[in-house]
Structure 1
Amino acid sequence: MNKHGLFQGGVAVVQPIDRGMTKMLDEQDDLYTVLLEGKLAGKKVQEHEIVESINETIRPYEDYQAYLDLAKNDAIQFIFSNTTEAGIAFDPQDTLTARPQNSYPGKLTALLYERFKLGKKGFQIIPCELINHNGNTLKEIVLKYAKLWDLGQNFVDWINTDNDFYATLVDRIVPGYPKDRATDLERAWGYHDKLIVKAEPFLIFVIEGNKKLEKLLPLKDAGLNVVVTDDMQPYRNRKVSLLNGPHTTMSPIARLAGIDTVGKVMQDKDFYKFINDEMYQEIIPTVALPKKELVAYAEGVKERFENPYVNHELSSIALNSISKFKARLLPTFKRYVATNHKLPQRITLALASYLKIYGGRADFEPQDTPEVLAAFKTLVQNDDYVTAALADAKLWGEDLTQYTGLVTLVKQDLQSLDQGGARQAVQQINQKGD
């Protein structure tokens, strides 16, 4: 937007967790490179751009006052967040006096309250975490903290009248740092960059909320594929079901089979069939959009998965897998069961694979929140680990043992994974079909 002369903005990056990369950014004068590689509209794309819009970095775990001081800056209009699906959550242990609060919504509430006390205007708040109604959920949690911390009705009114919370959907595959090619890229570009971010050229950013945002933030006018709409659900259902869903299915099963990237999954005849069948037999029939549109999108997703330039590691997809399963696969699972009165066997195998990994029965460790890891550490002590884990509503949002036959099938899948391995389990489902 700046380069098109449409905007004169900069970014203050706030590190939401104790450990992060803002110091590395500072060492590079807050510059980093975005590398786009792949196909777009049938044409090969290989291009890179240095991002120059970061003005400062804030580490609230080291200097909380610097974080609160952002409230004084009248130039700040927008707050974007991307703290993963697990990030938009309520922590009842958070307090206003904590420096900083543990949760992202807790930190945000503290900043908003500081802004309110200064008598300043509110913000345009645009969360990018991949949960449904992310803006509404974030606002609800902020208001929950306002009540918990007894911040007063005037503050609540200010939240409601002076701040806009938007729901969003980001559709772009971003594998991250290209460690396998970084040295060659740096040599070709003539500079060092420890924070190169690789992404596919495809992009759609859907924002649900007040149309005034189109003028305040002229993303579309700058040539970006951005949609501001009154209803983002059709876009979300399509993307979460047919792109994120297969990602979340392949990640645990393929890693158990020794496969480490999305591209290798799609090159493997067993796993290609498994994921293709999941798309066409378990996902597409459950999404309330025209089949022709869904098929076209699914084929486009497979092309994106096969992108030879995007070395998308399954280990990065696996971060916070339990909340991702809940957000990305469980809705499809439920719709499938309601329609077909039977269990979707590929999604169920993914669930069993997660229980194997989180139960400490894999040769790699799960990467998740301390709360989730602690929950599984307790669950594996049960004589009936599978039933106990599936019944834990804190993990899944509901008791999954209510689905007829699920406990039995997950136990069978776990036995299959333990005895014959993930590839054999995939082959058996491929042979059986639906």
Structure 2
Amino acid sequence: MKNIKDMKIKKSGFPVKVIQFGEGNFLRAFIDWQIQQMNKKGVFEGSVAVVQPLDRGMIEKLDEQNDQYTVVLEGLLDGKKVQSEEIINVIDHTVNPFKNYNDYLALADIPTAQFIFSNTTEAGIAFDPNDQLNDQPAKTYPGKLTQLLYRRFKNGLPGFQVIPCELIEHNGDELKKMVIKYSNLWNLGENFVTWINEQNDFYSTLVDRIVPGFPHDTKDEVFERIGYEDNLLVKAEAFLLFVIEGDKKIEKLLPLSKAGLNVIVTDDMQPYRERKVRLLNGPHTTMTPLGLLAGIKTVGEVMQDRDFLPFIMDEMHKEISPMIDLPKEDLESYAQVINERFNNPFVHHELTSIALNSISKCQYRLLPTIVQNIEENKVVPKRITLAFSAWLAIYGDLISGVKADDTDDVMRALKELKKSPDYLESVLAYQEFWGRDLTKVPGLLKTVKQNVNALKQFGARHVVQEINKGA
């Protein structure tokens, strides 16, 4: 069978309008896919320069395929079955700043570049006071971005529309704060800060598309259907939602709606974010450790499991929805949509792909619901706290069967925390992870310890069954 790297497919040939930090499955199936749709409609006519944000990445694999890959969409959209494939050809070139720092800075010299997109995971938007301007490159994404923006400023070129896709609250505002902090740390001057404020727009966003990634279990079947091999193929659901908060001018500069894409530009994205992060991402981060510990591999298997399905449904309806300030009918309707998306028969969304960087995911996806339940109802929510407990046990090597995979900083901190005589108390008190001392949240430490003991003694499935009995 032929391989995509041997197929003579032309790149878009359009000028670089987008600098993209991240080459992972999500950005390639979300941002790059949308850019391709705009190009096909003739409303954008731009290409992408991809930056590898970490020293280990996959741009070499992209380059081997002439920076092209396939997106396979499968699922239901507006009640209709969708099963399609498309070769994405919008990536103009890639840059590894760890190997070619000068090439990285040269991206700031591209006069046609207007947009910066990123998805460096929830842990990516961070500040490290040890970063220096002359580092090649800075360690953090905001540090790298500041280096690029400073080069742009010195060139006398206009600024960017900066659109982060990391799933943290007010991601655009947070990213801008980090850039300003680096500007001050590095003494880049008031004129540069003024240029940041006046020449660049930072947008907060909400991104919503389930992207399982490469279909390891069914790759031969997929290759047979599309007629060629593609080791960077990305599977995604047909559903897509892109919420952008900020200046309405972005609708003209980035004409996603003209390409028929589901984009919302709003003055307040918080209701959309609360609904999505808690009701979609929350259950994902709940089912992953418990499912993996029970030998379950995919989201679909969770939703077909007689023990885990009611567990997740009860979490959504009894623990999460009551904590969201939206009409009950709206939440029930969205929960039903999520149920259908989780049950998408075409998508084999592996739990291991959700497990990456789960400390920050717990912070943003689980803890707000846990703490709100405790503060407002004086009750520790059983299901979502069990999942949080399972993650802490996994990261502390208190339970076998699942391996933690997180950023270097997190893993270094955990190495020290595990030396404590009471790891669970120490990790809950570690404010660098959670933004607060969780041992002071009434009943949480006691419940976490009880949960971890039960998981170690009886196993995840048994504990889930017991919670279901007391539903």
- Structure 1 residues 374-420: Cα deviation after superposition (integer angstroms, max 9, x where no partner): 22221122121111111111111111011111111111111100000
Q: Distance in 2 between matches of 1:372 and 1:314?
A: 20
- Letter of the structure 2 residue corresponding to residue 373 of structure 1: M
Q: Distance in 1 between matches of 2:218 and 2:64?
A: 21
Identity %: 59
Q: Distance in 1 between matches of 2:221 and 2:81?
A: 20
TM-score norm. by structure 1 comes to: 0.98
Q: Distance in 2 between matches of 1:357 and 1:192?
A: 36
Q: How does 1:205-284 map to 2 (within 5 A)?
A: 205-284=242-321
Shift of 1:198: 0.5
Question: What is the match of residue 409 of structure 1?
Answer: 447
Q: Distance in 1 between matches of 2:418 and 2:45?
A: 54
Q: How does 1:33-432 map to 2 (within 5 A)?
A: 33-360=70-397, 361-432=399-470
Question: What is the match of residue 65 of structure 2?
Answer: 28
Root-mean-square deviation over aligned CA pairs: 0.9
Q: Distance in 2 between matches of 1:398 and 1:191?
A: 51
- Structure 1 residues 325-378: Cα deviation after superposition (integer angstroms, max 9, x where no partner): 101111111221222111111111111101110111222320001111122221
Shift of 1:253: 1.1
* Structure 1 SS opposite 2:216: coil
Shift of 1:148: 0.4
Q: Distance in 2 between matches of 1:164 and 1:293?
A: 32
Q: Distance in 1 between matches of 2:368 and 2:388?
A: 13
- Structure 1 residues 89-136: Cα deviation after superposition (integer angstroms, max 9, x where no partner): 111111110001111000000000000011110000000000000000
Q: Distance in 1 between matches of 2:243 and 2:84?
A: 24
Contact kept in structure 1, 2:374 and 2:442, CA below 8 Å:
no
Question: What is the match of residue 55 of structure 2?
Answer: 18
Worse-matched range after superposition: 19-28 or 216-225: 19-28
TM-score norm. by structure 2 comes to: 0.91
Contact kept in structure 1, 2:85 and 2:226, CA below 8 Å:
no
Q: Distance in 2 between matches of 1:272 and 1:187?
A: 33
- Letter of the structure 1 residue corresponding to residue 299 of structure 2: V
- Structure 1 residues 158-185: Cα deviation after superposition (integer angstroms, max 9, x where no partner): 0000000000000110000112222232
- Structure 1 residues 132-155: Cα deviation after superposition (integer angstroms, max 9, x where no partner): 000000000000000000100000
- Letter of the structure 2 residue corresponding to residue 387 of structure 1: E
Shift of 1:189: 2.2
Q: Distance in 2 between matches of 1:269 and 1:389?
A: 33
Q: Distance in 1 between matches of 2:352 and 2:122?
A: 16
Q: Distance in 2 between matches of 1:280 and 1:8?
A: 44
Q: Distance in 1 between matches of 2:327 and 2:163?
A: 29
Q: Distance in 1 between matches of 2:321 and 2:134?
A: 48
* Off by >4 Å, runs of 4+ in structure 1: none
Gaps of 5+ in 2: 1-37
Q: Distance in 1 between matches of 2:59 and 2:423?
A: 40
Q: Distance in 2 between matches of 1:231 and 1:400?
A: 29
- Letter of the structure 1 residue corresponding to residue 92 of structure 2: N
- Letter of the structure 2 residue corresponding to residue 367 of structure 1: D
- Structure 1 residues 235-266: Cα deviation after superposition (integer angstroms, max 9, x where no partner): 10100010000001111111111111111111
* Structure 2 SS opposite 1:3: helix
